[in-house]
Structures are given as C-alpha cells and as structure tokens.
Amino acid sequence: MEISITKRQRAFINSPAFETLYGGAAGGGKSYGQLVDAMLFALEYPKSKQIIFRRTFPELEKSIIRVSRELYPRKIYKYNTSMHTGTFKNGSIIDFAYCDREADVYKYQSAEYDVIRFDELTHFTEEMYLYLISRCRGANGYPKRIKSTTNPGGVGHFWVKSRFIDIGAPDTVHDCGETDRIFIPAVVSDNKFLMEKDPDYIKRLENLGERDKKALLYGDWDLTEGRYFTEWDKTVHVIKPFILPPSWNRYITLDYGLDMLAAYKIAVDEKNRAYVISELYTGKDNGGTGLIVSEAAAAVKKLIGGDIIKSTYAPPDLWNKQKDTGKSIAELFYENGVKLTRVSNERTAGWLNLREWLKVYPDETGKSCADLRIFDNCINLIRTLPALQYDPDNPDDCMRDPHELTHAPDAIRYFVSGRPQKTKPVQKPPVYNFKIERPKPDPGGFGDKIKLI
C-alpha cells in the first residue's frame, strides 16, 4: 500500500509536540492527514488506543468515519458500526466519539488513550478540551499526543487562537509550561492533490462572504466579525496597574454559583472612569471544585483587603430562598460577613450599558481612552470579555455558550447595572487672604480701629 501526503501533512505527522494544531484554511487536507497519522501510529504501536472526537456524531459519521473506511485497508482494519470502533490486526484501536454538550465529557471519565484527536477543534469549548486531554495517559511507554485540526471561526475560535496561534511563530514548538504546543498552518494551495483534481475549488471559496472567505480561503485567525464587543481594543482597555488614590470609590461585583465564583474589585475616579484592579476567579472552569458560600465569602473578603467598599453587586437570583434551609444565598453571604447589593440581571440593557463603558474616545490630552479599563493582572476577564459572540437568534444579546466565557463578563455587567457613583472631588478648605490696615491715632479719642479688607 502506498499513501501520498503533502509536506504540511508530513509536518503534522512528525510533530514532536504534546499538543499539535494543524490547518487553518479549508482544503488543506486536515481530516486526511489526521487519519493517515492515526493509522501510522496504530501500526507502529501494537495494542495502542486512540480516539477521534467531533462535536456531533452526524458530523463524525459523514466525514471522519466515512473517509477512514475508504482509506484503511480491509486486510488490516475492521470497523464495528455499533461500537463506533476501528480495530487493526495488531490489536490497536481507534474509537470514534462525539461530545455535543459539556456534560458529555464525563462519559470518558475512566478512559485512557495514547493519542486524543479533535476534528474541527474550534467547535469545542475550552472546558471540553481541557477535560478530555486529561484522558491522555497510560503506562505502556508509548508516546502521548494531542492532535487537532480546525478552521478559524466557531464557538471556540478565541480560546484556540489564544492557546495555539498567539503563543508565537507557527511551525515552532513552544514551551508553555505544563505542555509544549505547535501550530502547523495549511492552506488549499498546500494541497497539490486537491489542486490537480479540483482546480476550481479556490474560485468557490472566493465567492464566499467576507468573513467565511477570510477563514476558509486564507486561514485568517484575526476575525472580528461575530464578536459582541466590537468596541474592545486591548491597547486601550488593558493597562498596567498603578497606585490608586485612597479617596476613589471602590466596589466589588460578583457572579456566583456552586461551580464558579468570578469577583472583581473596581475603583471609580472623579470623572466616572472605572478601573478593574483585582480579580478573583475560581471554580470548575479553571480546574477547581467550586466554593460553598462560607468559602466564597472568605475569598471575597480577602479580595476586599483593607479597602472600604461602597457596594458589593450581585444578581437577583442570589436572593431566591433555598429549599433546604429557607435562606437565600445573599443571607448566607451576610452571615459570613459580606453584604450584597441586589442589581438587575436584564441582559440586553446590561450589555448595551457595558458597551457604552467600553466605547473608545479621546481624553483631555487627545489620547484614546474608555470609561472602563482593566489592570493586566485580571487575566480571565481580559480573556473572556472580547471572546463573547453575538447570539444569532438575538443580535442584542451575546451567546451563552460556551458557558465558561460568561462568568467574568456577567460580573462586570452587574457592576454597570448597579450605577456606581463617581468619586466626589476632595473639597479643599477655603483660603482667606486678609489685607490689614494698621491703626492710626484717633484725635477724637474714640480708640484705635483695624480694618480687614
């Protein structure tokens, strides 16, 4: 058997990184390269275990499974339709799986794989990806790899871009602390086989709308269409921390659930400009276990530090009575030393209000400014706020999926809904200037007189 591959596919197959992302534009041979790589690994490492994910099973069946059954020789490979598993003669297996909802990841809780593969990675949420790659493990001594392919766009566009594209130059393995990663780009012109068999494919891509053409023809990751907060400009909204005047009003705003706590300390100056100065972001979305109310209240008090807080804003659902205790979450916070202030959870009005705070305009010196700016230590807010996308069913709202992206922005939405007050200018004591006229002798004997002018 002889298989032809492109130079880009060969780079993907030979990648030494633990996490590899391949693709970009359409027609770069992503799925084919993924399947060739999976077969070579299976044949080289007997009884190895691999899994290939797609977001939904119909997508998986119409693409990856169909191509694999055409590509893999029947003499060495057999596909089990009911189990969705392919088995090679040497005992190696490839599972074909889907993960439609975030809760679906727990179907693979006890699984172990040598290689985990994602087809169209930007269709997955970051929470799905981080959980599923933890299943890449085993004591057989075989290489452990995460291999992904994708086009730009989709619900996971911004986290994939942050994880693989923004870390540095492509075709370079980058040490990212816990893992090493590489992005291997490919465009349709890299696929000589497609160009020979279907030379008009590029013309069809050129007829797409501007956003799809950028993503699918050029593999452009700098997409802004679909972004909810088009006002976002990192060069304006993200600033270096500085020492704040103690007189500035300070607020806490939070989004809380048993799975996640996102809280921020915000200062407001005399011109009603707000500065997000500290972040508390903990729970299941970043590898934690979530906090009960007493733990959450303790964490919020630590965030407050020694500052005087005018209000601690929270959404109205925290005032709902709990069936087991008859108390609300707000009452439990109060019993643990944190008094919450109830604010509106009206999404459309809240987001529109936040867009006004993010609007960029020239300040008194002519430099670009905004009424809401964020210290660069608030990494999760900076990561998630610009990643929110329009809800196609309601353009006035943003998408609630992936849920992981909404916690920090929701907390800031509660802040602007709370109508924070600007700091009143410090009143300086009045200065009196007296001009003293020295007394003169009074011949009439009525005494001396002093005039204050």
Q: 369 and 283 in one domain?
A: yes
Cα–Cα distance measured from residue 95 to residue 115, given in angstroms and rounded to the nearest whole number: 11
141, containing H or E segment: none
Q: 112 and 58 in one domain?
A: yes
DSSP string for residues in 178-212? S-EEEEEEE-GGG-HHHHHH-TTHHHHHHTS-HHH
Closest CA to 53 of 140, 182, 156: 156
Q: 159 and 18 in one domain?
A: yes
Per-residue pLDDT at 152: 84
Per-residue pLDDT at 31: 86
> Could you identify the residue written with the tokens 């087809």?
119
Kindly state whether residue 423 falls inside one of the protein's structural domains.
no
Q: 186 and 276 in one domain?
A: no
Cα–Cα distance measured from residue 384 to residue 400, given in angstroms and rounded to the nearest whole number: 12
Q: 413 and 273 in one domain?
A: yes
Burial per residue of 53-86, b for 16 or more beta-carbon CB atoms within 10 angstroms, e otherwise: bbbeeebbeeebbeebeebbeeeebebeeeebbb
Look up the CATH number of the domain holding residue 44. Answer: 3.40.50.300
Q: 207 and 247 in one domain?
A: no
Cα–Cα distance measured from residue 88 to residue 75, given in angstroms and rounded to the nearest whole number: 9
Look up the CATH number of the domain holding residue 395. Answer: 3.30.420.280
Q: 199 and 94 in one domain?
A: yes
Kindly state whether residue 437 falls inside one of the protein's structural domains.
no
Q: Is 407 exposed, middle or buried (0-12, 13-18, 19+ CB in 10 A)?
A: buried
Per-residue pLDDT at 194: 44
Per-residue pLDDT at 448: 58
Per-residue pLDDT at 212: 57
Number of domains in the chain: 2
Per-residue pLDDT at 383: 84
Per-residue pLDDT at 396: 87
Q: Distances from the Cα of 312 to the Cαs of 220, 247, 259, in angstroms? A: 41, 18, 20
Kindly state whether residue 451 falls inside one of the protein's structural domains.
no
Q: Is 169 exposed, middle or buried (0-12, 13-18, 19+ CB in 10 A)?
A: exposed
Q: How many CB atoms lie within 10 A of CB 353?
A: 17
Q: Which amino acid is at 342?
A: R
Q: 205 and 240 in one domain?
A: no
Which of 183, 216, 249 terminates a domain? The answer is 216
Kindly state whether residue 224 falls inside one of the protein's structural domains.
no
Closest CA to 21 of 90, 168, 119: 119
Strands (E) in 387-444, as ranges, are 390-391, 394-398, 436-437
Q: 192 and 64 in one domain?
A: yes
Kindly state whether residue 424 falls inside one of the protein's structural domains.
no
Q: Which two tokens stand for residue 247?
A: 């007189």
The contacts of residue 202 (CB under 8 Å, 6+ apart) are: 27, 188, 189, 217
Cα–Cα distance measured from residue 448 to residue 439, given in angstroms and rounded to the nearest whole number: 6
Backbone φ and ψ of 61, nearest 5°:
-70, -35
Give the residues across from 263 on adjacent strands.
254, 280
Q: 333 and 191 in one domain?
A: no
Kindly state whether residue 351 falls inside one of the protein's structural domains.
yes
- Cβ 264 vs Cβ 276: under 8 Å: yes
Per-residue pLDDT at 289: 77
Question: Which of 354-361's residues contact partners 24+ apart within 8 Å by CB, and which partners?
Answer: 354/229, 354/409, 354/412, 354/413, 354/416, 355/229, 355/231, 357/274, 357/416, 358/229, 358/231, 358/232, 358/237, 359/231, 360/231, 360/233, 360/236
Q: Which two tokens stand for residue 449?
A: 């007189």
Maximal CA-CA distance, the chain = 135
Kindly state whether residue 445 falls inside one of the protein's structural domains.
no
Q: 242 and 209 in one domain?
A: no
Kindly state whether residue 288 falls inside one of the protein's structural domains.
yes
- Cβ 217 vs Cβ 206: under 8 Å: yes
Q: Which domain holds residue 275?
A: 234-417
Spell out the per-residue pLDDT of the chain, length 453, in tens: 677 888 889 999 999 999 999 986 555 478 888 999 999 999 999 999 999 999 989 989 988 999 999 999 999 999 999 999 999 999 999 999 999 888 889 999 989 999 999 999 988 988 899 999 999 999 999 999 999 998 887 778 878 888 998 888 889 999 998 899 999 988 765 555 444 555 655 556 556 565 555 555 555 676 655 678 989 988 999 999 999 999 999 999 999 998 899 999 999 999 999 999 999 999 876 667 789 999 999 999 999 999 999 999 999 999 999 887 789 999 999 999 999 999 999 999 999 999 999 999 999 999 999 999 999 999 889 988 988 888 878 878 988 877 778 999 999 999 999 999 999 987 777 766 666 666 666 655 555 555 555
Q: 204 and 76 in one domain?
A: yes
